[in-house]
Amino acid sequence: MPEREFNNESFQTFLSEHKLMGSRCATCNTLYLPPRPMCSNCFGETMTWVEMGGRGKLRAFTVVHIATSAMIEAGYGRENPYFSGIVNLDDGPSISAQILGADPAQPEQLKIGTPLSAVFIDRGEGEEARSFLAFELKSGQ
């Protein structure tokens, strides 16, 4: 594992490598996602990288009509809304991300507690290239 600082920039770099990485406090084992350099539980500063399994359950969600600029570039917006959700990972931490695999025109079909799997979406090209975390409904759900 390369030595990287425990911050959002490294988190993003790992996303571009299609890895979902958090940091774990070496003292009290608390997991942070995105990673943090210091533990807010015990104030320990010794962190190690942990790759998350990427499986979790939907805790909350909303349909986004007013998209962020990155999402507008990806083709989302008022005419093409998307789900944004908070996912409780089986590994412990929660993270917010786009939810794929359900129709935002029928939000009642998306259920709290639905099992999800992390996917990595590459958008843009060249220097504009960036990878985004999203979660997809598991097949058969």
Binding residues for Zn ion, per CB under 5 A? 25, 27-28, 30, 39, 41-42, 44
Local structure of residue 90 (DSSP, 8 states) = T
Q: Which residue has the tokens 């969600």?
A: 61
3-state helix, strand, coil in the chain (%, to 5): 15, 40, 45
Long-range contacts of 76-83 (CB under 8 A, 24+ apart): 81/105, 83/107, 83/110
Q: Which is nearer to Zn ion, 32 or 76 (CB)?
A: 32
Backbone torsions φ then ψ of 123, nearest 5 degrees: -125, 150
Q: Which is nearer to Zn ion, 16 or 46 (CB)?
A: 46
CB 28 to Zn ion: min, Å: 3
Q: Which is nearer to Zn ion, 28 or 112 (CB)?
A: 28
Q: Which is nearer to Zn ion, 42 or 112 (CB)?
A: 42
Calpha distance 70→126 (Å, rounded): 15
Q: Which is nearer to Zn ion, 30 or 96 (CB)?
A: 30
Among residues 27, 34, 66, the alpha carbon closest in space to that of 50 is found at 34
3 state DSSP class of 58: strand
CB 50 to Zn ion: min, Å: 13
